Amino acid sequence: GAVVSQHPSWVICKSGTSVKIECRSLDFQATTMFWYRQFPKQSLMLMATSNEGSKATYEQGVEKDKFLINHASLTLSTLTVTSAHPEDSSFYICSAWGPSSYNEQFFGPGTRLTVL
């Protein structure tokens, strides 16, 4: 299957700082990338959908000014958690889809964010 990477794999930051998470599709062009959040022992919750070159579409209840998503190229999307607080601590996972990914979404390995 296709490879999607995320960086960093884990990050610890102080409350009030901003954190950027990168999601890259390494071997196919991802026209659409999805960002999920997963709390311990819970399922994935979709935060937003981003199409290359367009503004992201956020799910209800997700603050777009807090979770900034940029999908500037067909291989890279970024999620920036602005003014992070302890309640933002979670596992953030991206997935990527493109016409050549044979109708499948491929997931990254996730980024664990801990806000102190």
Partner 1 sequence: QKEVEQDPGPLSVPEGAIVSLNCTYSNSAFQYFMWYRQYSRKGPELLMYTYSSGNKEDGRFTAQVDKSSKYISLFIRDSQPSDSATYLCAMSDNAGNMLTFGGGTRLMVKP
- Binding interface with partner 1 (CB under 8 A): 1, 4, 6, 31-32, 34, 41-44, 46, 49, 91, 93, 95, 97, 103-110, 112
Residue 37 · residue 47 · CB < 8 Å? yes
What minimum distance in Å lies between the beta carbon of 97 and partner 1? 5
Residue 67 · residue 87 · CB < 8 Å? no
**Cα→Cα distances 91→36, 66, 102, Å:** 8, 16, 27
What minimum distance in Å lies between the beta carbon of 66 and partner 1? 20
Q: Closest CB to partner 1 among 82 and 91? A: 91
Q: Which H or E run includes 73?
A: strand 67-73
What minimum distance in Å lies between the beta carbon of 105 and partner 1? 6
